[in-house]
Amino acid sequence: MITVSAPGKIILYGEHAVVYGRSCIVTALNCRLTVSVSETEDGRVIVRSPNCKDRRFINSTLLIAEKELNIKHKGLNIETKCSFSGKYGLGSSAAVTVALHKALAALYKVAIDKKTLFDIAYRTVLNVQGRGSGCDVAAATFGGTHRFVTGGRIIRPIDTDGIPIIIGYSGIKGSTVELVGRIAKKFKEEPEKLNRIFKAIGKIVKEAEEALIGRDWKRVGTLMNFNQEYLRDIGVSHEKLETIISAAKKAGAYGAKLSGSGGGDCMIALHPDGISGKCAVSEAIRKAGGEVVDVSPNAEGVRIEKS
């Protein structure tokens, strides 16, 4: 039996714009999804995956691994465990895809470097979702914090440690597929406006990369606020997210924004004390009706836990 784990992710800047060829900054979280795989002889594939209700990512991984890694099995037992709920939108689908590809490659002794693993896992996710930048796949594969451009055209590590963010869940489930589709429709209707906004977000991302490296937390926060204004403008924010973001800022956060596709899911706030978990901002998020998700950024990428 092989056991492999991969981390979840959160986007610090550049969501949506990254789908249109701009950069985003994504960081891996220390919450992990674990996949255990063993071979059987009865020709059946048994999946026990209580936390991953959407089996399409597992099914698509099996098909693509067979084709691209030349894996021929006689039957498999697959079990997944997740230390974080799929409701948060923290990249559990990408994590299960990356972890399962890695586990299958290890079980059948197929050598696979991280870039190849990223490429096949990204194709697997596209096979299911049809659209997406792959930043969640990059975080699950490489870990750490990266500036990332769609499809992995750029995956550049950002040398930063201990980014003091606090993550708040809005309690509302957003749908990435629906929101990415909504922006695609808007892009067709108003290409100039959307291009202008995405270009501006791209500039914010490049400045944010420098601010993160320089640990200039005031600037890191201010750039989050700028990014949030554009996200609101393209219509992917939500009343509840806005309430929590504004409560976090009133409590002293240097900046706050939604994170991911929006329409609900999570927000992030930045405060130098955020890393300790004891911070007025966390309390304000809770009081505004959010749930503080106790995870930290810059975690390790996919790894073999047991073989």
Q: Which of residues 17 and 103 has its CB atom nearest to ligand MEV in the complex?
A: 17
* Number of residues assigned to the chain: 307
- For the bound state, the minimum distance from the C-beta of residue 289 to ligand MEV, rounded and expressed in Å, comes to 22
CA 51 to chain centre: 17
Return the range that interacts with ligand MEV (CB under 6 A); candidates 15-23, 193-201, 273-281, 293-301.
Answer: 15-23
User: How many helices (H) and strands (E) are present in the chain, helices listed first?
Assistant: 9, 11
**84 with 92: CB under 8 angstroms?**
yes
Residue 47: its H or E element: strand 45-48
Binding piece for ligand MEV, criterion CB under 6 A, among 58-66, 128-136, 246-254, 276-284: 128-136
Q: Is 209 in the site for ligand MEV (CB under 6 A)?
A: no
Nearer CB in complex with ligand MEV: 175/225:
175
Single residue of 2, 6, 12, 18 touching ligand MEV by CB under 6 A: 18
Each residue 28-67 as x (binds ligand MEV by CB under 6 A) or -, in order, gives ----------------------------------------
Sign of CA dihedral 294, 300, 302, 303: negative
CA distances from 266 to 10, 39, 77, 169, 238 (A): 9, 38, 33, 4, 11
Does residue 290 belong to the site contacting ligand MEV (CB under 6 A)? no
Question: To the nearest whole angstrom, how small is the minimum distance from the Cβ of residue 107 to ligand MEV?
Answer: 29
**Minimum distance, C-beta of residue 135 to ligand MEV, in the bound complex (Å):** 5
Give whichever of 1 and 177 is closer to ligand MEV, judged by the CB atom.
Answer: 177
Asked if 99 and 35 touch (Cβ cutoff 8 Å), the reply is yes
* Helices 280-287, 239-250: crossing angle, 10 deg rounding: 150
31: nearest Cα among 158, 199, 143, 151: 143
Distance CA 257, CA 268 (A): 6
Q: Is 16 in the site for ligand MEV (CB under 6 A)?
A: yes
Under rule CB under 6 A, which residues in 235-254 are in contact with ligand MEV?
none
Closest CA to 65 of 33, 105, 37: 105
Cβ contacts of 86 within 8 Å, gap of 6 or more: 51, 52, 53, 54, 92, 93
Least Cβ distance, residue 136 to ligand MEV (angstroms): 6
Minimum distance from CB of 192 to ligand MEV (Å)?
21
Nearer to ligand MEV, 122 or 217 (CB): 122
Comparing CB distances to ligand MEV, the nearer of 164 and 260 is 260
Angle made by CA atoms 290, 218, 232, in degrees to the nearest 5: 50
Binders in 129-188 for ligand MEV, by CB under 6 A:
132-133, 135-136, 176, 180
Minimum CB separation of residue 174 from ligand MEV in Å reads 9
| Interface residue list for ligand MEV (CB under 6 A) | 11, 15-16, 18-19, 132-133, 135-136, 176, 180, 260-261
